[in-house]
Amino acid sequence: MSVSVKAVRQCTLSSATTSRTTPTPTPTKHITFRCCTLTQPLKRSIENQPMKNLERLLDPIDYNSNTFRFTPRPVRLGKRWKEYQGIQNWDGLLDPLDDNLRDEILRYGEFVEAAYKSFDFEPSSPTYATCRFPKNTLLDRSGLPQTGYRLTKHLRATSGINLPRWMDKAPTWVSTQSSWIGYVAVCQDKEEIARLGRRDVVIAFRGTATCLEWLENLRATLTHLPGDDGSGAMVESGFLSLYTSGTTMLPSLQDMVREEINRLLQIYGDEPLSLTITGHSLGAALATLAAYDIKTNFKRAPMVTVISFGGPRVGNRSFRQHLEKQGTKVLRIVNSDDLITKVPGFVIDEDDDVSNKGDVQMAGLPGWIQKRVEDTQWAYAEIGRELRLSSRDSPYLNSINVATCHELKTYLHLVNGFVSSTCPFRASARKVLSNHSKEKVQI
């Protein structure tokens, strides 16, 4: 069902802000790609459909999309780069949203978008669940030319779910256990390194795409981290399974990340270096786990920053405290209308950055009750700083539903348009969704 959204007053920027140049997105060619995430509920009507179509209910969902290029302004971050990477937890940069930080968020969002575009979503393809492009052309062929970054590693995630024997007779796409999940890229261009103020390493993760990934998402109870010293740090079972599971033939995602980070630290560890891990949906959860793992296992780890889009909850309060003690910086981009950011479990912390409307909150209860609840496998905590947006603030989105509110392109549109909590949208954002508002996503 579509919900109509009335247009809101467009915001104009103050003279201090409008003196800066606003990035002009350059549209790329019209493409068709396939996307399926945990967050896209399967609401297709199955009435009067041939039986052969019913087996495709868990297939990726087809839709047409005009993809827009958010070209960042050539602003030299210089010595302030740590500030934009969250060294001060983005204090004073989120409300109103700093223009330079906006550009950085959009830039990292494009790396995630490239991961989606590079994935083979076609179940009938012999290369299903693999990367469509080699390392040396992936960014160019996925719409990101001249970034100054070079891919150094393909990453795969493996499900730890043990399938019953009868699954051998199921279509291959149903039982695909290991799939391409993202990549590592290193900034190599001298001019871009000078602009950024350091050499940057990006790890980008896509969201859920395969059936087993979807099933892992449903394993929503908390579990202790491997090697936990009794601190009580726990994370979502399915996310941890995808990060740590491997086979006799394929290493785990954890091993791949560790191996590549170790190699890169040996090469670039003596120069100014940052590690930015970014992802959408499931990819946002994996980005948080990867950041924790890197800071835990590498004493010489550089500054590690997570920029996540539409991520579900990942761990409990002890896990969050571990991240904070490590110095890992997490910036969560959240759409208030996105259901996935409100699951799994419930939140019991009184000191969370934002009390999310519509979430199950346990704050205010007697301490002994909170302690009992916290000991369960469903008590999560919000992690990091939050940039809270809303689809309802955009005058260019003519419908709001679970799927469109969670799409990465919706997040990029909202980031591009957001000004502040008192002036949520700028008129110039119209260019970004000139065609998006006309699109219909059929699920």
Instruction: Spell out the domains of the chain, with CATH numbers in brackets.
Output: 15-438 (3.40.50.1820)
Active-site annotation holder among 154, 322, 406, 413:
406
Checking if the pLDDT of 22 tops 60, the result is no
Confidence of residue 426 (pLDDT cuts 50, 70, 90): confident
Q: Is 338 a catalytic residue?
A: yes
Please check the confidence at residue 47 and state whether its pLDDT lies above 60.
no
From the candidates 59, 120, 337, 338, give the one annotated as an active-site residue. Answer: 338
For the chain, the average pLDDT equals 80
* Over residues 145-164, mean pLDDT: 93
Read off the pLDDT of each residue in 60-81 and give the average, rounded to a whole number. Answer: 60
* Structure confidence by residue, pLDDT tens digits, 399-418: 788 889 999 999 999 999 99
pLDDT computed for residue 365 by the predictor? 52
Render pLDDT for 357-404 as a digit per residue (tens, 0 to 9).
444 444 455 555 555 556 667 789 999 999 999 999 998 887 788 889
Active-site pick, 241, 281, 336, 390:
281
* Whole-prediction pTM: 0.80
What's the whole-number mean pLDDT along residues 422-435? 64
Q: What is the pLDDT of residue 80?
A: 96
Sheet arrangement for strand 329-335: 149-158, 178-187, 199-205, 273-280, 303-309, 329-335, 385-389
Give mean pLDDT, residues 68-77: 66
pLDDT by residue (tens digit) across 156-181?
999 999 876 766 666 777 889 999 99
pLDDT at 367: 59
More confident: 228 or 327: 327
